[in-house]
Amino acid sequence: MPDTPPDQSSIPDAVAVPKRHWTVPLVWIIPIVAALLGIWLAAHYLLAQGPVITIEFKNAEGLEAGKTKVRYKEVDIGTVSAVAIAEDRSHVIVTAQIAKQAEQLLVQDTRFWVERPRITLGSITGLGTLFSGAYIGTDAGTSAQDRRHFVGLDTPPPVLSDAKGSQFMLHAENMDSLYLGAPVYFRRVAVGRVTGYRIDGDGRGVTLDIFIDAPNDRFVSADTRFWQASGVDLSVNSGGLTLNTESLTSVVVGGISFQTPPGVEGGAPAASDSSFTLYRDRESAFKLPSRQAQPYVLYFDESLRGLAPGAAIDLHGIEIGEVNSIGVEYKDESGAIRFPVEISLFPERLRARGAAPAPSPLERNPQAFLDKLVARGLRAQLKSGNLLTGQLFVALDFFPHAPAAKVDWRHAPPVLPSVAGSFADIQDTLASIARKLDKVPFESIGHDVDRSLKSLDTTLRSADAVLRQLDAAVLPELKGTLEQAHKALGNAEHALSSDAPVQEDLRSTLQEVNRAARALRVLADYLSRHPEALIRGKE
């Protein structure tokens, strides 16, 4: 049967259906919201987290991951998250999570250290960590460059970055008993500390860094002197025995003191990082400065024991120089041994007083000035500064009767004339007396004295025998005589008593004599008035 084409009218027309929008089933809304909230919380947590830093320490003593805190000014700013050993095993690496608000503290010069109990010579620190445990301390730097890896300090820094004050450098021959953190005193009040030290490049000394707290750093000026106040400063010199101490702490652990010398104006405060000399004691620090020194040589014939470098050159009690060294010279041509004493004279100390003193004659023309003084008798002489210690010093004085002498200007340095010291004269006198005493025949004198004593003993024995004879023969007779004398004195006392007959007769006789004398006085008076009565008689 042949195919018949379908009826086109019976085919329905296609109707376009609009696109259906996708809808979320209601059951998925809550999980989606929870997921979005979790994502937001995770993002907020990540954004709130601070940076992670690493710190190198020599060891991890007291550090524990998840517990040890990182603190700045006693405020927690982070926590240690991990502690690991470095690949070369020379140190440990501590990883710490720092709070976001402390991120600005992590700069190039920020310092970290482990705070734990420490006992030093001068202080005890970190006692609070005995209860709270060790923590990592922080000292914020001032740099503008960020940093995330640090090298920790072995000990806390002696000065924090925000401390107010000034830093200075001191140069000394050695450290003595000073140490890191040693106190610095001003008028025996602790005003600073030693912050560091190092050996100089040439190895001839050390340089110390000190920090003076504000406002006491204003007392440091260009004329300020620093000296070691370590322990007990006991010195023996020509002035005697000297004992100086600062405080009990400095006696035990040492320290540094500073002050401007009396009579010197302090001036403006010294700039930070200024350099000063650290003297060994207060006396050396306050010694008058001398801008120039003239070298001379002295020769003495007596012993130089007790004379040491640094001894004073004294002119009528004023120190105008000091001894530099003492040596030995041997002259081949004469075979003589001499002992040169090299000295330095400070000519500015001979200036006249005034607002602007002119140069002294020793500064203007030392040769003419010294030649004139030596011609007047100026000589150098050794004198004892202290009989107890035996220390000597050199005194310049005038000896008009000294032998003529001149300054030897051909020698370099020039040689000043000297005379024997008074102590040497005393020794010579004592030696002369000793020699004279040696000539005294003490042995023969002793024999004579012995014979005299024997003779005296014999004489005393004879005298004793005579006294015994007198006691046996003379004393009884003497006793009888004394008894008779006693009786005679008794009779005389009885005869002279007031009621004795002799006394009564004597009174009667005296009365008669009195009446006779009165009659004669009347007669004499009458005759003086009537002398004619001797011829005519009484009318």
Within this chain, do residues 325 and 413 fall inside the same structural domain, yes or no?
yes
Main-chain dihedrals φ then ψ at residue 165, nearest 5 degrees: 160, -165
Tell me, yes or no, whether 10 lies in a domain. Answer: no
CB 209 within 8 A of CB 313: no
**Structure confidence at residue 13 (pLDDT):** 67
**Distance between CA atoms of residues 96 and 82, nearest Å:** 7
Q: Do the domain assignments include residue 538? A: no
Is 33 part of a structural domain of the chain?
A: no
Residues 6+ positions from 190 with CB-CB distance below 8 Å? 183, 184, 247, 249, 255
Give the Cα separation of 539 and 534 in Å (integer): 11
Does residue 471 lie within any of the structural domains? yes
**Tokens standing for 147?**
């940093």
Cα separation of 62 and 403, whole Å?
83
Residue 111's pLDDT is 94
Same domain for 425 and 300:
yes
Instruction: Give the whole-angstrom CA distance, residue 453 versus residue 13.
Output: 183
> What's the rounded Cα separation, in Å, for the pair 69 and 78?
6
Same structural domain, 306 and 424: yes
CA distance 132 to 64: 13
Based on the fold, state whether residues 319 and 427 are members of the same structural domain. yes
Asked if residue 514 belongs to a domain, the reply is yes
pLDDT at position 442? 75
Nearest to 70 by CA among 113, 108, 104, 110: 113
Neighbour count for residue 240 (Cβ, 10 Å): 13
Q: Do 302 and 309 touch, CB atoms closer than 8 A? A: no
Position 284 scores a pLDDT of 79
Asked if omega into 403 is within 30° of 0 (cis), the reply is no
DSSP 8-state class, residue 444: H
Verify that 95 and 74 share a domain, yes or no: yes
Backbone angles phi, psi at 379, to 5 degrees: -140, 155
Query: Could you tell me which of 192, 158, 198 has the C-alpha nearest to residue 174?
Result: 198
Q: Are the CB atoms for 350 and 360 separated by under 8 Å?
A: yes
* Residue whose entry in the numeric block shows the structure tokens 């107010």: 164
| First-last CA distance in the chain | 259
3-class state of residue 156 by DSSP: coil
Q: What is the extent of the structural domain holding 405? A: 296-351+359-435
**Structural tokens at position 5:** 């084409």
The per-residue pLDDT string of the chain (539 residues; one tens digit each, 9 = 90 and over) reads 455 666 666 666 666 666 655 565 666 777 777 777 878 777 766 666 788 999 999 998 889 998 999 999 989 999 999 999 999 999 999 999 999 888 889 999 999 999 887 766 556 666 666 667 889 999 998 888 999 999 999 888 888 888 899 999 999 988 887 888 888 999 888 999 999 899 998 888 999 999 999 999 999 998 899 998 865 555 555 455 555 555 555 555 678 999 988 767 767 899 989 999 998 888 778 876 666 788 999 998 888 888 888 888 888 888 888 898 998 888 767 777 888 999 989 888 877 765 456 788 888 888 899 999 999 999 998 888 766 667 888 889 888 888 888 999 988 899 999 888 765 566 666 777 777 777 777 778 877 788 888 888 888 888 888 777 777 776 777 777 778 878 877 777 776 666 667 667 777 888 888 888 887 787 777 777 777 766 766 66
How many CB atoms lie under 10 A from the CB of residue 409?
Answer: 13
**CB neighbours of residue 381 within 10 Å:** 22
CA separation, residue 298 to residues 34, 84, 117, 411 (Å): 104, 72, 61, 11
At residue 202, what are phi and psi to the nearest 5 degrees?
-85, 0
Same domain? For 190 and 268 the reply is: yes
Could you tell me the pTM of the whole model? 0.54
Do 263 and 369 sit in the same domain of this protein? no
425 plus 478 within the same structural domain: no
Let me know whether 307 and 240 are in one domain: no
Are residues 428 and 527 both part of a single domain? Answer: no
Rounded-to-integer distance, Cα 139 and Cα 142, Å: 10
Domain assignment of residue 12, yes or no:
no
Total tally of structural domains belonging to the chain: 5
